[in-house]
Structures are given as structure tokens and as C-alpha cells.
Structure 1
């Protein structure tokens, strides 16, 4: 078992303390200030700006709306979500790769808003969709809009945390050629314009996972900010303990701010509930 990180500060963010809005067709929880929910204590954490846990009813969704200067990604937990934007013409969609537009569990859709892009997110299926929508603040403004979609293995997530996003390898000030190549620092991940690694794991009951801060992929190595979130997937049966601490036990919908950690530190996760725990980790500057 990994040694406790005595220098780390862990502050839980309880599910019932999040912002919450139920519009009937949309049931949304906000970890950070968003839309009509505002709390000056919860504006951002490192590069992380938005973490919404949304459920959208069948035949409903978010109509076309613009974004600028944000890195936006959706992590599908259950159901299907259809993404369309101003770079994809209806009728010309593909069924895989960066033009893939209908997402299911295991898929992640990523958009660089940059100089401006308009997109919609609709549930065109016959059942509710449950997903996380996350925004990161990019390291530069006025980037060229870009999107990526990728499927990540459920089996791999059940053996260890699986990196999903990592920084663009060429870093800030990348050339147009490097932007087009879109090579991530970690292989088989989606490149993000931020000093951030996003990963996910599905921890079996009574098992432990570990997260190595920075994942060997970041620029800032001291004083990193790691946000942990346990989505509401198992009807309350999932529960985890962070760093072996009794005061850092998280139930479904809970999160935790982990600050004061450094690249290479090992953060332990123990699944102590009655159901497997799907956990996302946002390791930020």
C-alpha cells in the first residue's frame, strides 16, 4: 500500500453542496460556478473551470450555442449523446474518428473552442443520457478550433487509471503543423491545450488503484492541483477512500480537492463500497 501523502491537503466537495438545477428535461449538478449557480469559493481549480454532471432526457438537449477560448470535453457514463458543431455538416458525419458524432458509454468528445465554434449536444436516443461535461482553461487564447472523439477501453479502466487527455506535446506556441498533427504527450490520449491530465478508472470492490501525480506528462511539477470525482453511477453503492484517510471517504456525487502535491507523488484510491467505483481524476497545474 502506498504511503500517505502527509504534505497533501484533501478537501471533500460533497454532492449535496454542489450547485443543482432540475429543468425537467435536464438534471444538472455543478461542482464550480456555472450558469445561474454562483459561489465565489468555487470558480476554478488549476486549469479546471467546469465540471457538470448532467442527465438529459430522451429527445432533449442543448441547442446550438457558441464557445470561445475553452477546452471542452464530454465523458459519457450511460446512454448516447449526439454532438454536432459548425465544423461538421449534417449528413456528412462519419461513424468513427474525429468526425464521429454519436457518442456512447466509453466515448470522450473533445472540442477546442479557440477563436470560436458553435455546437449542439442532443440526446437523439430513446433513453436518458448521463455524462460529465468538463471545461479547462487553455494556455493560450485564439487557438484554431478543433475537435477529437475517441473510445476508451472499459477493460483497461478496470485494471488501472487510464489516461484520456494529456497536454499537446509541442506545448504553448506550437506551430500550425504541430497543431494539425495534434500529438499528445501520452500515447493514445486526446491532446489538450493545458498542463492537465484527465484519467478514469473503474475500481472493483475491495481493490486499490494508485495515481502518479503528473503521469510523467506535465510541465509544472510542484504544487499541483488534483480534482477527484466519483460520478453517480451505482445507485449509491460505490464509495472510495483517498490516501487512506477516514476524512477523505467519498460517496457517489462527491469530489475532492487535492492540493500541495508534486509530480511523482502517489495518491491511493481504495474502493470500500458495495459496488465498483468509477472515478475520474483531473490532474492540473
Structure 2
């Protein structure tokens, strides 16, 4: 075969492969686990998808309003002592074990009568959400005697500074995520505050999200998750699936993360969870990997296929 014929054949194959992509206008760039920041402090084993604390990489300083995604494991009887937050939307997504959130005013032995905003044990399926706003202080400890807690901590930049600080906690059980996966869907977890950036004090207090059943966030931002069995697939509808839910409809960004659910399990065998995005062979993710999806528009469907030997827990973060 001549060089010209070979080039023509290669071009034909490339065009055929591209035609299989549901989002040919989108770019998808994997963010490999090996390129994340990593620190093992003994009590805390943490991976940073974006620059954080003592790890800085100018290539990974955020993605739209997404600023932090840490995959943390905290040893029993250790954790983060009381510390302040302000002017970030911060949420913890429980994967295994339990993480005890305490408002700065709640001490051990004083939990009686307090609500979930002040004291809560975040377990698998729970999402604990904090608006730092003008300032808030809490501790996050693994108070379990024997089990390590594994969770994602995620930060987003809000649409304005100086918001009233608040907490929200909701549970998104495995059953709901598997039922959604059976339908080829994701469970929505976060959606923008319905009242928008100019919400009144009463609307802030009411905390109504754009999508019922989700946690309201002060940003043009959405989050979803699903649990995909091997050989199953699901699609995330960019912009949270309904017209008007997000403000910016065009040129949105979606960050996909595949947590390390079996990679640190010594009893597991095989390659674990693996996923493929938009049918692309150059967009296959292993556990711990993420992917930057850009140039997508509200209403686009990002397809995720589970191609590994274990159930894949897929988290998507949809941002302007």
C-alpha cells in the first residue's frame, strides 16, 4: 500500500470512529490519577485533582467554578480539628466509613437535641454541604474505633461573596443510584439555588433548589452520581437535564471522576472499575482518574460505559 493510500485508509478509520461519538463537538481530556497531587500523612491519605494546600500544579488550578476535588482517607480516631471556612461552597461525598461533622459549638457528650446542621455522621451515600459565606467553623473527625473513612471533598466558587453561612445534609442511597443506572441515568445531587444570586434573606432561608430533591448550591453548577455494573451504561444530560436549570447553556464543562473504590481494597482482584466516555478509546478511565469534558451544551448527553470487572461509582460535576 502506498503512503497516500495508507493515509487515506487511516483517515477513513478516524472518521468512522468519530462518527460513533455522540458528542463530536466536545473535547475530552483524561486527568490520570498519577498526575494528581498525593500526600500520605499516616492519619490522612489524600489525592488532589486540583492544586491544594502544599501541592501546586499550574495545569490544575480549577475547572469552571470547580476549585477542589480531594479524594481522602482518614484513619480511625483522627481527623480535621475545628477550622474556619469562608466564601466557598464545600461538600463531602461519603464513599465508605463515617466522618463526623461537628459545628464548632458542639462537643462530645453534648449532642443531645442538636440538629444535623450542628452534628452529623456522614456515611456512604451522604452528602454534607457547607456554604462558608461570611464565615463558619467546624471539625471533621473519623470517630470510629476501627474503620477508615473514604470520601470526596469538593469545593466550588460561589456566584457572590459574603453569603449567609449554612449547612445542608442529604442521603443519596446506593439503591437510587442503581435504579437510575438501570434506566441509563444519573441521580442529580446538587442544583443551583432557585432564587439565584439576588436571593432575599427569606429565599436563602427557604433554600429551594432548581431541581427538587437536590441540595441547593450558590453557583451555576450541578452534580450527579450513578453506580454502573459491568457492561452497563448511563448518560449525564449536561445542564441537569431540564431547560432553565442552569444559566449558561453553551460551552459548559463537565468533570468526571471515578473514585478508587476497589484499588485500595486488598481483597479485590482484577482491574477493578473502568469506564469509557462518549465511546472514545482515548477516554477510558481507571479508578482514581478524572476527565475534563469541554465545549458541551445544555441538553447534550455524555455517555459513560462501565467496561471493568467491578461496579463503577461515577461522579459528574457540571459547571459554567
Query: Hey, which of these two has a bigger chunk of helix by percent?
Result: 2
Please give the range of the TM-score, normalised by the shorter of the 2 chains. Answer: over 0.9
The Cα of 1:158 is off from its aligned counterpart by: 1.1
User: Aligned with 2:179: secondary structure?
Assistant: coil
The Cα of 1:93 is off from its aligned counterpart by: 5.6
Are positions 1:255 and 2:275 aligned together?
Answer: no
CA distance in 1, matches of 2:177, 2:54: 34
CA distance in 1, matches of 2:192, 2:60: 24
CA distance in 1, matches of 2:301, 2:119: 35
User: Aligned with 2:292: secondary structure?
Assistant: strand
Are positions 1:273 and 2:308 aligned together?
Answer: yes
Are positions 1:83 and 2:104 aligned together?
Answer: no
**Structure 1 residues 163 and 93, CA, compared in 2 at 3 Å: closer, same or farther?**
farther
User: Aligned with 1:214: secondary structure?
Assistant: helix
Aligned residue number for residue 204 of structure 1:
229
Aligned residue number for residue 146 of structure 1:
166
Q: How does 1:1-285 map to 2 (within 5 A)?
A: 4-86=22-104, 91-92=110-111, 97-125=116-144, 126-160=146-180, 161-215=186-240, 216=242, 217-235=245-263, 236-285=271-320
The Cα of 1:4 is off from its aligned counterpart by: 1.8
CA distance in 2, matches of 1:87, 1:73: 20
The Cα of 1:100 is off from its aligned counterpart by: 4.9
TM-score normalised by the chain length of structure 1: 0.96
The Cα of 1:244 is off from its aligned counterpart by: 0.1
Cα contact 1:82–1:101 (8 A) shared by 2 = yes
| Pair member with larger Rg | 2
RMSD of equivalent CA atoms: 1.5
CA distance in 1, matches of 2:292, 2:113: 38
**Structure 1 residues 102 and 239, CA, compared in 2 at 3 Å: closer, same or farther?**
same
Structure 1 stretches of 5 or more lacking a match?
none
User: Aligned with 2:282: secondary structure?
Assistant: helix
**Structure 1 residues 280 and 37, CA, compared in 2 at 3 Å: closer, same or farther?**
same
Structure 2 stretches of 5 or more lacking a match?
1-19, 181-185, 264-270
User: Aligned with 2:313: secondary structure?
Assistant: strand
CA distance in 2, matches of 1:74, 1:87: 20
